Amino acid sequence: FQAKFAIVRRVASTLVEQALRSDESGGKPDLALAREQQKKYIDNLRDLGIDVHEFDSDDRLPDCCFVEDVAVCHDGIALINRPGHPTRQGEVDVVRRVLSFDLGQKVVEMSEQEGATLDGGDVLFTGKEFFVGLSQRTNMKGAMFLADTFENYPVSPIKLSDGSLHLKSFMSMASPGVIAVGSSKDAQKALKEIESKASFKYSKVTLPDDVAANCVYVNRTLIHCSHEDFPESAKKFEALFPHTHRIEMPNSEFRKVDGALTCRSILI
Ligand code: CIR
C-alpha cells in the first residue's frame, strides 16, 4: 500500500455524452465539475508524495480517465489488460507506453491470450493475494491470465451477480488486512465467496452505500467518499478509522458514469 508513482488521465469532453453507464438515473456528468474533482484527486496524490504522471485525455476514448481498468501492476510487472468493453480497448496504448518506457515496468500483454478480457476494476489485491471478479467485463480466461502473470500470489475468481459492473464497485481495501464492503445483497454475496476462498484472514467494515465501499488506501492515508456524496458512509469511515490519516474525496460526477475512487489511478 505504498506508492511512488501514479498514472492518471484527464477527463475527456466526450465523458458527458458517450461514457458507458449502467443507467441514466444520476443524470449527465458536469464536465467542469468532473475536471475539478479530477484535479483535486491528483493534487491529493501529489500531496502524499506520489510522483503523478498525468496524461491528456483523448475524446475518441470517453472513459479514458478510468485508467485502473487498463493495467494491473505489482512487483515491477505491468499486465496490460484487454478491457472487456470494445470502446475501451484503445485506452491501453498510452498507459502501456508510460509503464514500459517511463516507469521501467516489465510489460506482459493479455492480448497474447485469445478471448481473455479483464478490467482492473475487477481486481482486488489485498497485499497477499488477488481476488478477480468474473463480470460482464472480465472472464475466466482473463482471470487465469492474471494468475499466470502474478504466479507468486494466490488468485481466486469470484462470480459476480449479473447487475454488478466490477468487483470493486462495492469493495476495496480500507487499510492493510481490512476489506471495506457495501451492504447490498450482491456485495455481501461476493464477500461470502471471498471469505470462503481466501488464503489469509481479513477483517471487514460494512458501509451503508456500495459505491462508498470503494476507497483508496495509500501511503498510510485513506481516501474515501465525502460527507456530501454519502453522509452515512463518510460518518462510518470517520468513526472506524479515528487514528488514520483520512481525506474525503468528492466523486459525484464520475459516479454518474459508474466511476469510483480507485478507477482514476494506477498506483505503483
Ligand atoms: C465503464 O463503464 O467502463 C466506465 N464508465 C466506468 C469504469 C469504472 N471503472 C472502475 O470502476 N474501475
Q: Residue 144 pLDDT more than 90?
A: yes
| CA 230 to ligand 1 centroid distance, Å | 19
pLDDT tens, residue by residue, 129-143: 999 999 999 999 999
Contact 19 CB / ligand 1 (< 6 Å): yes
| pLDDT on residue 163 | 85
pLDDT tens, residue by residue, 13-66: 999 999 999 998 989 999 999 999 999 999 999 999 999 999 999 999 999 999
**Assessment of whether the complete model's pTM goes beyond 0.90:** yes
pLDDT tens, residue by residue, 85-130: 999 999 999 999 999 999 999 999 999 999 999 999 999 999 999 9
Contact 260 CB / ligand 1 (< 6 Å): yes
C-alpha separations of 213 from 4, 30, 76 in Å: 24, 23, 28
> Does 245 qualify as catalytic in the annotation?
no
Contact 91 CB / ligand 1 (< 6 Å): no
Return the ligand 1 atom nearest residue 22 CA. Answer: 2
Distance of CA 73 to the CA centre of its chain: 12
Return the ligand 1 atom nearest residue 257 CA. Answer: 5
CB 167 within 8 A of CB 187: no
> DSSP secondary-structure letter at 69?
G
φ and ψ at residue 243, rounded to 5 degrees: -105, 5
| CA 1 to ligand 1 centroid distance, Å | 22
- Residue of 64, 166, 224, 225 marked catalytic: 166
Name residue, grid cell 471471498: 194
| CA 105 to ligand 1 centroid distance, Å | 24
The residue whose C-alpha atom lies closest to atom 3 belonging to ligand 1 is 20
Separation of alpha carbons 110 and 150, rounded Å: 13
Return the ligand 1 atom nearest residue 260 CA. Answer: 11
**Cell numbers found for residue 201:** 484472514
Separation of alpha carbons 144 and 59, rounded Å: 32
Mean pLDDT of 209-217: 98
Mean pLDDT of 222-227: 98
The contacts found for 183-186 with CB under 8 angstroms, 24 or more apart, are 183/207, 183/208, 183/209, 183/210, 184/210, 185/161, 186/160, 186/161, 186/210
Q: How does the average pLDDT of the chain come out, rounded?
A: 97
Distance of CA 147 to the CA centre of its chain: 18
Return the ligand 1 atom nearest residue 214 CA. Answer: 11
| Residue 265 DSSP SS3 | coil
